[in-house]
Chain A
Amino acid sequence: MNLRRPLVIFLLAALLGHGLVVLWAPTLVNLRVTRGILERVLSGPSELPEAVRLTPVMQARAAKITERGGYNVALPAVRATAASKAIVRPSPDLLYTVCLFDLERGPLRVRAPVQDSYLSVSGYADNTDNFFALNDREIAPGADGSRQLDLLIARPGQAVALESVQVIEAPSDRGVILFRSLVTSEAQAARIRDEYQLFQECDPLR
C-alpha cells in the first residue's frame, strides 16, 4: 500500500525532522481506520517542496504533532503534483490541509482565515462518509471586516460552552477534517501556508 509514503513525506518535507517521522509514522500507519480514511481523501507530493525554514512556529507545530500522536492538529499543507499517487485526479490548484481528529476527550476547534479565494472545509467520519462541508461563501465578515472560518466539531452530548461558534456534530469519534484552498501560483500558496502556520487551527477545545 502506498499510503505510508505520502504521510512520511508530509513530515519530511515540512518539518525536516527525521526523528518526528520515526515517532509519527508508525502511529498513523498502525491505525486501520485512519488508513481507510486517508486513502480516500489524501493527496500529497512525494518530492520535497521548496526549502522550508524551520521557524519557531513550525517547531511548535512539529512538537504538537508528536505529542498528540498525529491527531487533533493540522498537518502541513501540500499541493498535488505528478508524484501525487494517493488518490486519482487530485486538483493541482488546491492546497490540501489534513487534520485527523479524535474527539474521545472532547470537542475540536477548527479555525482558518478566509483568503480572497475559494476555501472549503469538510469533515469525514471514520467510515469515510462526508458529514459536513462549508465554503468561504458561507462565511460572513466579522466586526473588523475580515472573514474567518470558526467551527467546533463535537460528539453528541459533549458540552460546548462557546458562544457564537457553529457546532458541527460528528458521527464518529475519529475522522478527518480536510481544508482545500484555491491557489493558482506558488507565491499564493506560500502566502496561504504562512498564514495557516500562524492562524490555522485544528486543536482540542480548551
Chain B
Amino acid sequence: MYGADHYLVDNPAGIYSVPMPEATASQVRLLTAVESQPEAWLPSPSSGPFSVTLRLYNPGAAVYENPQSVPLPEIRRLSCAPGVAS
C-alpha cells in the first residue's frame, strides 16, 4: 500500500504489506483504521488517493511467458462513509 506520495503509509500497526502464499484465493481489506483487524488487511491513508502494488517473487514459468495471463486481484469498494473507517 502506498500513499499519494508513493511512500509506505504510516500506521500504528506497522502493516505495509500482506504476503499471499501461492494459490490462495483470499481477501485483503484495505481500510482506514487504527486498531488491528482480525482478517488480512492493509491500512490506507486517512484521506486522499492511494495505490497498491502486487509483487510476484520467483513466479512460475507461465508468468514469465505470458504476463497477461496472470489473474489480477479484483478491487471492490465496500463502503466509503465519512467518519467511518471502512
Contacts and interface: CB of A to CB of B under 8 A. Distances in A.
A118 B57 contact: yes
Nearest to B9: A82
A91 B53 CA distance: 9
Interface string B14-27: 10110100000000
A82 B10 CA distance: 5
B11 interface: yes
Given A89-B53, A91-B55, A136-B58, A81 B19 contact: no
Interface in A157-206: 182, 184
Contacts of B55: 91, 93
Interface in B21-63: 53, 55, 57-58
Contacts, number: 42
Interface of B is mostly: loop
Contacts of A88: 2, 5-7
B58 A118 contact: yes
Interface string A107-148: 000000000011000000000000000011100000000000
A137 B57 CA distance: 11
Which of B6, B19, B57 has the most chain A CB atoms inside 10 A of its CB?
B57
Contacts of B16: 80-82, 92
5 contacts: A83-B10, A84-B7, A88-B6, A89-B6, A91-B17
Interface of A: 80-85, 88-93, 117-118, 135-137, 182, 184
Interface of B: 2, 5-11, 14, 16-17, 19, 53, 55, 57-58
